[in-house]
Amino acid sequence: MELRPVQMKDIQTCGKVMYEAFRDISRRHNFPPDFPDAGAAEGLLSDLLHAPAFDAFVAEREGRILGSIFVSRRSQVGGISVLTIDPKAQNCGVGRRLLQHGMEFLATQGHRRQQIIQVGYHNRSLCLYAKSGFIASELLSNMTGRPIKVNFPSRTVRRASESDARACNALCRKVQGFDREHEVAYAIARGTAAVVESNERITGYTTGVGFVGHGVGETNEDLKALIASADGFTGPGILIPTGNGELFRWCLENGLRVVQQMTLMDTQPSGPTNGVYWPAILS
């Protein structure tokens, strides 16, 4: 088995493998699939391959792609963003090899602390990540539903601009102990980022209200205002820390439903945050 960097010509096969792998495991546990078809998975991987600060590798045997891993260098904390194995090649050590390779690559780039989000019903992936050094640090509720559209008179939400990046990064460092500079810059450039202001000061921001966007705030009122301003929830929905009871209850009371439970895992958990947040699936 050979590991090599992903090329654009691999994306169609990697997308098909990703779709089939996620579809099969979700069906076995009676959960909806994360992607409606292979084309949607292919589109996500194509975006990641072209996005800054992402790297990707495939496992290949005799010209056949067995699986792939996409890793993120968008912050000081490295992310294992996507790890998928062809259902026909599972239980052969392919996932462990790819995960080890991705973690070692991130470490050589200065990202010794790393995070990954795994789906709660997939016990085997939980065990693989735990054996590889990840520690479960936060239970997440994947939630979706109709746009909430509640007004917060003390908060103003607007589209983020380049001049907001410094304040967003400073807020993230205050709340989580590190910033997500590359992710914030990319979201601002794509027009998906928003900030919330209170007393003419940025008190929260999001790179997108949905599966691939994260949010950070000084208080739950900031996160609520950001969520309530969204016209919809992209992808399978938003990842709300279940342990944030106030925010979780507010989402439920405003019509959001839980799709599935997920687990944020970290090689070096840093303890309680100095504020509130929701993570992105891509770490």
For the segment 54-101, what is each residue's pLDDT rounded down to a tens digit? Answer: 999 999 999 999 999 999 999 999 999 999 999 999 888 999 999 999
pLDDT in tens, 164-190: 999 999 999 999 999 999 999 999 999
Distance from C-alpha of 75 to C-alpha of 113, rounded to nearest angstrom: 10
Mean pLDDT of 11-15: 97
Give yes or no for residue 247 having a pLDDT over 80: yes
144-278: CATH topology is Aminopeptidase (3.40.630)
**Mean pLDDT, the chain, integer:** 95
Q: pLDDT at position 112, please?
A: 95
Q: pLDDT at position 276, please?
A: 97
Q: Which two tokens stand for residue 250?
A: 């507010």
Please state the domain extents for the chain: 2-112, 144-278
Whether the domain at 2-112 and the domain at 144-278 fall into the same CATH topology: yes
Q: pLDDT at position 270, please?
A: 85
Distance from C-alpha of 58 to C-alpha of 3, rounded to nearest angstrom: 6
Q: pLDDT at position 254, please?
A: 98
Q: How far is CA 45 from CA 38, 112, 163, in A?
A: 11, 24, 29
Q: What is the pTM of this model?
A: 0.94
**CATH architecture assignment, domain 2-112:** 3-Layer(aba) Sandwich (3.40)
**Helix/strand/coil for 19:** helix
pLDDT in tens, 95-123: 999 999 999 999 999 999 999 999 999 99
